[in-house]
Amino acid sequence: MTSRERVRNAFAHAIPDRVPIDYYANPGIDRRLKTHFGLAAGDDEGLRCALGVDFFEIIPPYTGPELHLPVPDRRIDIWGIHTRWVEHANGGYWDFCDFPLRDAGLETVERWPMPSPDDYDYAAIPQLCRTYRHYYLMVGNPGAGDMINTAGMIRSMDQVLMDLMTGEPACLRFMERKNEIQLAVLDRTLEAAKGEIDLLWLGEDLGTQRAPLISKDLFRRYIRPQHQKFADLARAYGIPVMMHSCGSSSWAYEDFLEMGITIVDTLQPEALNMAPEILKRTFGDRMSFHGCISTAGVVAHGTPEETREMVRRTLETMMPGGGFAISPTHMLQDNSPVENVVALYEAAKKYGKY
């Protein structure tokens, strides 16, 4: 099967030739994997081929102006989110900081510079789809439609959780403005792709490791109505929706199904009610799954043998009846030994055959 056929079969609960495979990684482990396979630093396609990856994200290039003034020792994205470099034992990462809209009121949020849907090159989409047509093509990402996380990056997480409890208009308006723009960009991307896109990917982290992050009432009051707009967009183009959510998030899956969201991503096995056995038993005949391979478990801290055994057990649980694509639960972290990551993908190909 081609990658597109393989994933379509799996997500339709038909039986593919093998379980579909996906890959996401931080820069440090990504560089080390390319070195391991004898690839150039920028050879993303070569690494995808070496690992057997079946998915590809189509992204319209941003061509708009720089919207926010530079700040020393900071990165600032198109939404105005600040990050600073933090060293750690395995390298470093860009961590969220400054929170420029933490105390902002509604008037400030309304004036806050954000990209226009016109600031993207949709003319590039058809060629991207042709170039990568052998993959299962997705638009969106874990930040598409995301409300709590993105607002937390610019307003601080503690403030956003209080804002949801109090219905703070400034916070809700930031979320709404950002989602209006993303919805329009996705719509124009799908239109430009002319039927070549297979899936719309959304995100919203809804759980801690031990419990829901917010109440079901708050989810249904503020989050679900915004996500429904994206689900309706996907339905208009005849494609499924995959929802990314870290932590203990299976409590929201019945709502997802009512909304038309039939694929869930991340599936951190160590979180409450997220073990593969629970997910497969409870939702396996109604949903498809993408994830399950913890980036905080044996891939980071175990041996290659333990990694292979963990992959084998996960596949044994999740493969029956289709409906599963194997993927890291988050980006593979820089503390992951190369030999463990290689063992992960070797085991996925070995034990994932039907």
Pairing mode, if any, of strands 75-76 and 82-88?
antiparallel
Residue 40 confidence (pLDDT): 98
Length of the chain (residues)? 354
Residue 301 confidence (pLDDT): 97
Contact 204, 146 (CB under 8 A): yes
Tens of pLDDT, residues 237-283: 999 999 999 999 999 999 999 999 999 999 999 999 999 999 999 99
Residue 47 confidence (pLDDT): 98
Tens of pLDDT, residues 168-178: 999 999 999 99
- Helix (H) or strand (E) holding 57, with range, is strand 55-57
In the chain the domains, ranked by start, together with CATH numbers, are 3-351 (3.20.20.210)
Residue 28: partners with Cβ closer than 8 Å, 6 or more residues away: 90, 91, 334
Two tokens at 199?
Answer: 């899936």
* List of the chain residues with pLDDT < 50: none
Tell how far CA 345 is from the center of its chain. 19
Sign of CA dihedral 125, 131, 134, 140: negative
Residue 190 confidence (pLDDT): 98
Tens of pLDDT, residues 322-332: 999 999 999 99
Q: In what order do the strands lie in the sheet with 136-140?
A: 55-57, 136-140, 199-203, 241-245, 263-266, 288-293, 324-328
